[in-house]
Copies of this chain bind each other. A is one copy, B any other.
Amino acid sequence: MNHEAQNPASALVLFSGGQDSATCLAWALERYARVETIGFAYGQLHAVEMTARQRVRSAMAVVKPEWAERLSEDHVVDLAGYGAVAESALTADRAIEITESGLPTTFVPGRNLVFLTVASALAWRRGIATLVGGMCETDYSGYPDCRRDTIDAQERALQLGLDTPMEIETPLMLLSKAETWALADQLGGEALVQMIREETHTCYRGDREHRHDWGYGCGTCPACDLRARGWQEWRGQGA
């Protein structure tokens, strides 16, 4: 009634429908017998992100038959109230630029910490002791909550605050964007690479009209720029 006993074969993936979290989802589907996903509606300007989640989940089940068996419930948590206090260029009409403080206007303060704490509450209820997130400090865009030392501190707070084992896996932490494409190739071959290219959404502007080698997007925002450069670097290396 209160919470289920923890099952080490289960994982909960923080899943936004972007390239990074889709790669994390594939990574988890290779390793865990039961994989649930969680997404957050925090007032993103672009509904395209939430529709990409469903598209990618459906497409993931086609890449490998065993993934279809392992992919389990999806949870969407409404955090619009948080999004309103944290307002950034992702949730308000504001230019995407670097401010005097050195942080981009796309910084949503505390976002990964809020997402991890809420995800841990759901995991605790559902007997899951492993969270998986696509945080990455290599291409980290100036976001301090993407660094592993931040994640380590949050992991410790979750373990103490829930008084239970709770691990945060960050398989992309030390990878460049080119290496993230290579990891997708390693996990699910060309089928996964093509699916990520076609179905995932990364563009800060929510653009799905413009098609590029590396997928859809405006092609000029920092998120498109990172994704495009990673793709070119990886494909250039002989793939």
Contact = CB atoms under 8 A, between A and B. Distances in A.
Interface of A: 1-3, 41, 75, 77-82, 84-87, 94, 99-101, 103, 105, 107-114, 117-118, 120-122, 124-125, 144-145, 147, 149-150, 153-154, 156-158, 160-163
Top 7 A-B residue pairs of the complex, sorted by shortest distance between their CB atoms: A78-B81, A144-B163, A145-B161, A153-B157, A2-B99, A150-B160, A110-B121
Nearest to A148: B160
Contacts of A84: 77
A154 B161 CA distance: 9
A160 B149 contact: yes
A87 to B, nearest CB: 7
A3 B118 contact: no
Contacts of A41: 81
Given A2-B101, A87-B125, A110 B161 contact: yes
A150 B144 contact: no
A125 B150 contact: no
B77 A81 contact: yes
B78 A113 contact: no
Contacts of A160: 144-145, 147, 149-150, 153
A162 B86 CA distance: 12
Instruction: Select the residue from A2, A112, A149, A160 with max chain B CB neighbours within 10 A.
Output: A2
15 contacts: A2-B99, A2-B100, A2-B103, A2-B107, A75-B85, A79-B82, A82-B118, A86-B118, A87-B125, A103-B163, A109-B162, A110-B118, A149-B160, A153-B153, A153-B160
Contacts of A105: 1-2
Nearest to A146: B161
Interface of A is mostly: helix
Nearest to A94: B1
Instruction: Select the residue from A105, A107, A114 with max chain B CB neighbours within 10 A.
Output: A114
A155 B84 CA distance: 22
A152 to B, nearest CB: 9
A110 B166 CA distance: 12
Nearest to A84: B77
